[in-house]
């Protein structure tokens, strides 16, 4: 593995949800009429900075709403949570209340983070209200179809609701947990290789350590790890192939170093192949949904012609495969990635 600094577009445009994408979302039960929209939450009078436990600015703010709007917002957010978690069954929010509404000032989408608490036992959960961006929705769908992870989200026109993905932020894990003597470093390295492979196949970009989480699962004889993306804004937008390979980001150096220390070339290729086989299995089981998604995304403009040209040349060089030069869209590139996996796994 190599390591390099990778530059990406800090102000990627937000692409609207097209009628064709809306139809796809309706078909696969991702569309929902919501009582509160992203724009409703933007109507706050002022806000205050939220500090982390070390007293540093967290880049989140606490919005302050007019008193006569708070009840309406809180009731609407509880309905949204019920739609997200229980197909609209309001019984699950009967004993819950909205504890916090927080607004992020960092990044492209400026999400709201909602904390909802069960008053019977103080157990809490989070969900997010964001401005709907077609790039992000395609990223969520690709994650659902091609990764081992399930994602839960809803879309209502210009509003996107996302379930919280639990886990230790990748940068925090690297600093505080990566070298825990109770953790098997080879298992962590193996998971990073698989994550790296998935990102390239799906063209999910900008997977720096703070854009993914590490999930830890104790097993009967060891501890298992799973790396999960939590940010899907950079879905097949950038032209630089390195954006789609987490191994190239300097923020991921600790993971790359562990892979170099723990894995041989043979085991590295073995784990790559394992992930390709898993992707192939998911492609076969979800082939109709994947075809529908391909047909919709291929009709949309979700990046620049220059980025497509740059990426297909980069992919052709990286894989020594001139077929990439025939691709017309980012979707074509993903489709060729999948076709190549099918060929390789069958060999």
Rounded-to-integer distance, Cα 331 and Cα 285, Å: 19
Rounded-to-integer distance, Cα 14 and Cα 109, Å: 8
Rounded-to-integer distance, Cα 178 and Cα 9, Å: 29
pTM (2 d.p.): 0.92
The three-class DSSP label of residue 129 is: strand
User: Considering just the CA atoms, what is the radius of gyration of the chain in Å?
Assistant: 21
Angle (nearest 5°) at CA 170 between 341 and 50: 135
Residues 6+ away with beta carbon under 8 Å from 175 = none
Rounded-to-integer distance, Cα 96 and Cα 192, Å: 37
pLDDT in tens, the chain (347 residues): 444 567 665 578 899 999 999 999 999 999 999 999 999 999 998 999 888 878 888 889 999 999 999 999 999 999 999 999 998 899 999 999 999 999 998 767 789 999 999 999 999 999 999 999 999 999 999 999 999 999 999 999 999 999 999 999 999 999 999 999 999 999 999 999 999 999 999 999 999 999 999 999 998 888 999 999 999 999 999 999 999 999 999 999 999 999 999 999 999 999 999 999 999 999 999 999 999 999 999 999 999 999 999 999 999 999 999 999 999 999 999 999 999 998 886 65
Which residues share a beta bridge with 63?
A: 47
> Which phi and psi angles does 133 have, rounded to 5°?
-130, 125
* Under 8 Å between Cβ of 333 and 312: yes
**Residue carrying structure tokens 């040209």:** 309
155 burial level (CB within 10 Å; 0-12, 13-18, 19+)? buried
Residues 6+ away with beta carbon under 8 Å from 17 = 25, 132, 134, 137, 155, 157, 158
What does the block give as tokens for 85?
């978690």
Helix (H) or strand (E) segment spanning residue 221: none
């Amino acid at each position: 593995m190599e390591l390099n600094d990778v530059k990406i577009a800090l102000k990627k445009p937000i692409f609207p949800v097209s009628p064709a994408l809306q139809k796809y979302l309706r078909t696969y039960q991702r569309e929902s009429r919501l009582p509160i929209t992203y724009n409703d939450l933007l109507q706050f009078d002022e806000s205050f900075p939220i500090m982390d436990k070390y007293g540093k600015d967290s880049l989140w703010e606490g919005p302050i709403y007019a008193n006569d709007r708070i009840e309406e917002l809180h009731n609407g957010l509880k309905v949204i949570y019920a739609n997200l978690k229980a197909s609209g069954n309001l019984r699950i929010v009967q004993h819950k209340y909205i504890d916090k509404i927080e607004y992020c000032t960092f990044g492209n989408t400026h999400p709201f983070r909602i904390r909802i608490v069960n008053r019977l036992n103080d157990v809490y959960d989070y969900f997010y209200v964001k401005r709907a961006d077609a790039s992000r929705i395609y990223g969520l769908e690709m994650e659902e179809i091609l990764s081992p992870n399930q994602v839960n989200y809803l879309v209502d026109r210009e509003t996107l609701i996302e379930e919280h993905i639990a886990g230790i932020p990748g940068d925090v894990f690297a600093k505080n947990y990566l070298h825990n003597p109770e953790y098997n470093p080879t298992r962590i390295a193996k998971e990073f290789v698989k994550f790296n492979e998935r990102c390239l196949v799906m063209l999910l970009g900008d997977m720096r350590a703070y854009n993914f989480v590490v999930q830890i699962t104790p097993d009967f004889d060891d501890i298992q790890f799973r790396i999960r993306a939590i940010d899907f804004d950079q879905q097949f937008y950038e032209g630089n192939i390195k954006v789609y390979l987490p191994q190239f980001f300097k923020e991921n150096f600790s993971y790359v170093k562990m892979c170099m220390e723990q894995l041989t070339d043979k085991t590295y290729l073995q784990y790559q192949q394992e992930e390709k086989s898993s992707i192939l299995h998911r492609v076969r089981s979800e082939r109709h949904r994947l075809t529908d998604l391909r047909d919709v995304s291929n009709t949309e403009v979700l990046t620049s012609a220059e980025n497509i040209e740059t990426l297909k040349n980069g992919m052709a060089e990286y894989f020594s495969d001139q077929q990439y030069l025939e691709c017309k869209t980012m979707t074509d590139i993903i489709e060729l990635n999948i076709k190549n996996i099918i060929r390789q796994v069958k060999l």
